Chains A and B, each alone.
Chain A
Amino acid sequence: MAQARPDRSTLSDGELVRLIQDGESDAFAELVRRTQRGGYRLARRITRNHDDADDVLQESYVKAYRALDRFAPDRPFGPWFLTIVARTALTWIRNAKRRAAEPLDEPGKDGSGPLAERVADPAHDPAAVERRARVERAYARLSEDHRAILALRVEGDLSYAAIAEALSIPVGTVMSRLARARESLVEILGELREAESR
């Protein structure tokens, strides 16, 4: 249960890392707080279900924590952590732990509505709901590599250099793969739209 911790919200990432390296391990809570949303969304985009995303995120934090003693405090923590999340998630979905992707059109196991209905509030703009649901379907049809690189760019907001590091590929390959992924997304979306209009 949540314990009272000193407010470290005004410290920079580097200062927090130094505190942790000096033995104040509870400063890690603030780093977790700053990065958990981005980390979760990235893990969820790649694994495509909550349980895997949760496991990946926790495992990523454990790995990051154990590597912090060698981490240069002047380096931004967020991008480095997201590369850990990305690598962990990619490994996760490629091994036996993989679970089925959350279906777009069926209610979630936890009682939540279908993903397609959660993309926006229907009360506001049904057209936007439909459009976003279609984009999600198109995204789901991308190849694993294309989904991963788009997730890193869109959810992680990572630079090409950081994506290259996360995927262990050259920056030039990031550039071309990202372009192919985006073109594929546009193309698949066109197919979906055409199929729906028939």
Chain B
Amino acid sequence: MKPNVKPDAHHPTPEELFAYRDGELSADQRTLIEAHVLACAKCRELINRVSGLESDLRMLPDPVGEEYYERMTESVLARVAAPGGSAETAPLAAERTPHVDRRRPDAAAAGGDERRRLRLPWIGIAGTGAAAVAVALVAVVLLHRPEEWVRAPRPVAVKESGKKAKSRAAEREAALAKNRARGRAQVPAAAGAADESGAPARKDQRAATKEKKVAEAKPSEAGASNETPSPSAQAPSPGAADAMGDRAAPVEGNAKMRAATREAVPQALGSIQTAEPPSSDRAPGEAYARVLRDHGLPVVWDDGVPPDALLRAEPDLRLVYQTHRAGADSARIRLYLAEAERARLSTPADPASIEHIANHYRRAISLARGDAALAAVARRRLADLLLSRPPTSQEPSTP
């Protein structure tokens, strides 16, 4: 299937869609794209498809076993302890860790289990509920900033100045001409047969991109002389929800629209709740299970969890997460952390705290990978949280 969203000005670009899916957009951008994705089956399908492919890539069983890792650890420690030993002087091949057991014990159990395929949270949402939420969100966005919805704004990181854009356009034209002269497209010949709709324009564009990349200095080669990034540089956080900046204030609708949305959305949320798929029955990992046991908590947060138990468990849950022992329970822990922080919210809550909690939910949704029930709960709670935001000072108060 060929993703066919870019040529239509009413759809976000693939870059925007994937950045949304990866949790890399600012709050403003995320709101716009989310409103569109909820209402657009085509964009949902593209995101869902790519998510499924990446889930399949992650499913490749670990080709080495525990014994390999144990030996490797010892080998590394011996190398770093060796006086004068270095990456350059130590003969790597001679020290190569023997290749052992090829399959993890749980690999067989994991294989073939369709439930573990990554499904985006909205896949389980009933059409009626999703449509109602979408209509409400789109209405808020359209009425509040109609000038911006003609086309979703390109993320800040890919904005170009007019001069730079012209230069790039010229570069692209040159690359296109070069590519046509060569009479080849970027992808292998078989692509032509598989590609019926809009193929020429798309292919040229892709070829141009590739040509441009060839012209660029190979960035990874430029950094190849030193593979150790600066230890003191600003920390990149894995999966940080807002690497591209949550600096922009969240989109705020006016009070009237907010009131209208509040009327429309609860019905939709009701549909979402009834449409929640069955909960994942995967057993929790050891560290997470211990915290659950100690505090008498269910595997996945639900409305029946007492706030005081939640707050008591919060430090332990946080420790499991921060010490990298969360593993496959990461999404469950992020949901618990969101609820714990929510239980501590003051009234009225400040927008920064709400956004912080919203990021926990968003991360839980993206980490849910196949646990549609958990994703649905996180999604419902996120919608509920965002709708409960107090109006900003610019908004007229509700009469």
Residue numbers in A under 8 Å from B13 (CB-CB): 179
A186→B1 contact, CB < 8 A: yes
A50→B223 contact, CB < 8 A: no
Q: How far is the CA of A165 from the CA of B220 in the complex (A)?
A: 10
Residue numbers in B under 8 Å from A150 (CB-CB): 54, 57
The stretch of B108-116, B132-140, B271-279, B352-360 that contacts the partner chain: B108-116
Contact A80 B77, CB 8 Å, known A112-B102, A155-B58 = no
CB distance from B99 to the nearest CB of A (A): 5
B108→A121 contact, CB < 8 A: yes
Q: How far is the CA of A78 from the CA of B79 in the complex (A)?
A: 20
Residue numbers in A under 8 Å from B213 (CB-CB): 145, 177
Contact A120 B110, CB 8 Å, known A75-B235, A139-B57 = yes
Residue numbers in A under 8 Å from B237 (CB-CB): 76, 79, 159, 161-162
Produce 1/0 per residue, B55-77, CB < 8 A to A. 01111111110000110111111
CB within 8 Å of B: which of A129-187?
A: 129, 131-132, 135-136, 138-139, 141, 143, 145, 148, 150, 153-162, 164-173, 175-180, 182-187
B231→A132 contact, CB < 8 A: no
CB distance from A35 to the nearest CB of B (A): 8
Residue numbers in B under 8 Å from A121 (CB-CB): 107-112
B41 at the binding interface (Cβ < 8 Å): no
Produce 1/0 per residue, B161-199, CB < 8 A to A. 000000000000000000000000001101101110000
Contact A65 B80, CB 8 Å, known A76-B238, A162-B237 = yes
Residue numbers in B under 8 Å from A87 (CB-CB): 220, 223-224, 226-229
Residue numbers in A under 8 Å from B396 (CB-CB): none
Chain A residues touching B, range: 35 or more
Residue numbers in B under 8 Å from A2 (CB-CB): 70, 73-74
B323→A11 contact, CB < 8 A: yes
Produce 1/0 per residue, B318-350, CB < 8 A to A. 010011110000000000000000000000000
CB within 8 Å of B: which of A107-141?
A: 108, 110, 112-113, 115, 118-126, 128-129, 131-132, 135-136, 138-139, 141
Q: How far is the CA of A169 from the CA of B229 in the complex (A)?
A: 13
CB distance from A182 to the nearest CB of B (A): 5
Interface residues of B, count at CB 8 A: 94
CB distance from B78 to the nearest CB of A (A): 10
Q: How far is the CA of A192 from the CA of B224 in the complex (A)?
A: 34
Determine which of A40, A59, A128 lies in contact with B92 in the assembled complex, contact meaning CB atoms within 8 Å.
Answer: A59
Closest to A79 in B: B238
CB within 8 Å of B: which of A80-115?
A: 80, 82-84, 87-88, 90-91, 94, 108, 110, 112-113, 115
B219→A178 contact, CB < 8 A: no
CB distance from A8 to the nearest CB of B (A): 10
Closest to B225 in A: A91
B206 at the binding interface (Cβ < 8 Å): yes
Most B-side CB within 10 Å, residue of A26, A145, A159, A166: A159
A158→B238 contact, CB < 8 A: yes
Contact A171 B243, CB 8 Å, known A94-B224, A136-B60, A179-B15 = yes
Contact A120 B111, CB 8 Å, known A28-B77, A62-B80, A182-B50 = yes
17 A-B interface contacts by CB (under 8 A) = A10-B323, A32-B76, A33-B69, A36-B69, A40-B62, A54-B99, A76-B238, A80-B229, A80-B235, A159-B239, A162-B238, A175-B19, A178-B18, A178-B22, A182-B53, A186-B2, A189-B53
Binding site for A on B (CB under 8 A): 1-3, 13-15, 18-19, 22, 24, 49-50, 53-54, 56-64, 69-70, 72-77, 79-81, 85-87, 90, 92-93, 95-97, 99, 102-103, 107-114, 155, 157-158, 187-188, 190-191, 193-195, 206, 209-210, 213, 219-224, 226-229, 231-233, 235-240, 243-244, 319, 322-325
Binding site for B on A (CB under 8 A): 1-2, 9-13, 25-26, 28-29, 32-34, 36-37, 40-41, 44, 50-51, 54-55, 57-68, 70-72, 74-76, 78-80, 82-84, 87-88, 90-91, 94, 108, 110, 112-113, 115, 118-126, 128-129, 131-132, 135-136, 138-139, 141, 143, 145, 148, 150, 153-162, 164-173, 175-180, 182-191, 194-195
Which 6 pairs from chain A and chain B are nearest by CB? A124-B112, A125-B112, A120-B111, A162-B236, A121-B111, A87-B227
